[in-house]
């Protein structure tokens, strides 16, 4: 098991690299049916003449996969508890993509009101198998001090 | 069928109200198993002594449900195509919550390079059955002009 990280273990510039996640058309459609039922996320044929020119995952599906990879690669003590995230989608993810996430600590702010914790700002880049940026998320998460 | 909206139909201050979405523990756990496998999203018992003090949905699950409600309530011609979203979670969503989304247009910017479209900034507030804010998302989406 990976050693858990506390606030005092972290420093600006630290990088965390995730494992990989293979995305297929069935998963793209299943997510979209429930959460983003639009033609370009649901059906190859219907997607062809849209903005995306072919089946593309919902951006929120890319975000969810990113969280999966983030949880597996940033071992914060107490878990990943996010206050928010500024997400941008550079390009959609597609059937057959193999995604990975690189997360870099941009900033660490100890809490003034709660001395046992701080807010860590990380940039998480979601890359496909060609190393192309699909999503960038700048997120604020809690980190706790050792007792 | 709702009339589809084009760029010239939209104005700052326009408000769109969604239908409702009922969230239960099974769906919270199913989403978390796949995309955010942490104890406070997976198991009532394990969640009790965590930050959340009980089972809570992943923030990204709340975002996905918000997209579902947004797609059903903001009938843009060409569909909802997002460039990005700045999301913050005011409080978690929980089993038994009934969620709805109110979206307000904050800004409309015609594209300089592509005269057939513009970028619309909307604030989407996700509220529970007590009217409490659970998530605020400020998103940029494409809107197209009539041919």
Given a cut of 90, is residue A78 above it in pLDDT?
yes
**Dihedral angle of Cα B59, B141, A54, A29, to the nearest 10 degrees:** 30
- Regarding an ipTM greater than 0.90, the answer is yes
Give how far A108 is from chain B: nearest CA, Å: 18
Nearest CA in chain B to A63: B60
- Give chain B's contact residues with A (Cβ, < 8 Å): 31, 34-40, 50-52, 58-61, 63-65, 67-68, 71, 78-89, 142
Which residue has tokens 């050693």?
Answer: A3
Give contacts of B39 with chain A, Cβ < 8 Å: 79
- Does residue B1 have a pLDDT over 90? no
CB pairs under 8 A between A and B: 93
Q: Looking at domain B7-144, which CATH architecture does it have?
A: Roll (3.10)
Averaged pLDDT for residues B94-112: 97
pLDDT digits (tens, 9 = 90+) for B113-141: 999 999 999 999 999 999 999 999 999 99
Contact A79 B34 (CB under 8 A): no
Q: What is the pLDDT of residue B147?
A: 80
The helix (H) or strand (E) run that includes residue A70 is: helix A59-71
CA distance A79 to chain B (A): 7
The C-alpha of A111 sits at a distance from chain B's nearest C-alpha, in angstroms, of 16
Say how far apart CA B76 and CA A38 lie, in whole Å: 11
Task: Round the average pLDDT of chain A to a whole number and report it.
Answer: 97
CB-CB under 8 Å, B89 with A34: no
The CA distances from residue A30 to A26, A27, A35, A115, A116, in Å, are: 6, 5, 9, 43, 41
Interface test with A, best of B24, B47, B58, B87 (most A CBs within 10 A): B87
Q: Which residue of B has its CA nearest to A36?
A: B68
CB-based contact A65:A21 (threshold 8 Å): yes
**pLDDT score of B23 more than 60:** yes
pLDDT value at residue A85: 98
pLDDT classification of B89: cutoffs 50, 70, 90: very high
Question: Hey, are the CB atoms on B88 and A84 less than 8 Å from each other?
Answer: yes
CB atoms within 10 A of CB B80: 19
Contacts of B61 in chain A (CB under 8 A): 64
In total, chain B counts a number of residues equal to 147
pLDDT at A1 over 70: no
Instruction: State the average pLDDT over residues B101-113.
Output: 97
């Amino acid at each position: 098991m990976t050693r858990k990280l506390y606030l005092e273990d972290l420093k600006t510039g630290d990088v965390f690299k995730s494992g990989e996640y293979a995305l297929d058309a069935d998963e793209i459609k299943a997510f979209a049916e429930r959460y983003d039922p639009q033609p370009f996320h649901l059906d190859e044929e219907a997607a062809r003449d849209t903005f995306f020119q072919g089946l593309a995952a919902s951006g929120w599906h890319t975000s969810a996969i990113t969280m999966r990879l983030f949880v597996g690669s940033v071992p914060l003590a107490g878990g990943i508890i996010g206050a928010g995230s500024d997400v941008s989608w550079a390009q959609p993810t597609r059937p057959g993509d193999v995604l990975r996430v690189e997360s870099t600590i941009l900033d660490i702010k100890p809490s003034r009101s709660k001395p046992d914790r701080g807010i860590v700002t990380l940039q998480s880049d979601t890359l496909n198998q060609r190393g192309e940026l699909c999503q960038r998320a700048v997120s604020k998460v809690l980190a706790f001090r050792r007792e």
